[in-house]
Amino acid sequence: VLQTHEEDDRKVRRREKNRVAAQRSRKKQTQKADKLHEEYESLEQENTSLKREIGKLTDEMKHLSEVLKDHEKICPLLHCTMNFVTVPRPDALTSCLPR
């Protein structure tokens, strides 16, 4: 009878220990899932921000391409017969530069 009582106590302690370990494991899994969700949200925000920046830069590139195309129509450097020379004439260069 004494041995059965000790065995019962051991079973109860083992069950309690197992229950606590299972709780700890579930809590750890929940924390890991929460952390992954936070990381996901952060990356989604960063992705949205980067897409917005790509859009702005694409618009700026289109605008600058148009400005360049308009400038090429009037640029004396492009119409000069010497435009293949590596050093352009200083007076032609300054006429293209903003004042």
The torsion angles phi and psi of 82, rounded to 5 degrees, stand at -100, 20
Write the CA distances from 80 to 48, 56, 71, 75, integer angstroms: 47, 35, 14, 9
- Yes or no: say if 92 and 80 are a contact pair by the CB < 8 Å rule: yes
What's the rounded Cα separation, in Å, for the pair 26 and 21?
A: 9
Using a cut of 0.85, tell me whether the model's pTM lies above it. Answer: no
pLDDT in single tens digits along all 99 residues of the chain? 667 888 999 999 999 999 999 999 999 999 999 999 999 999 999 999 999 999 999 999 999 999 999 999 898 877 655 555 555 555 555 555 555
In this structure, are residues 92 and 76 in contact, taking their beta carbons and an 8 Å threshold?
yes
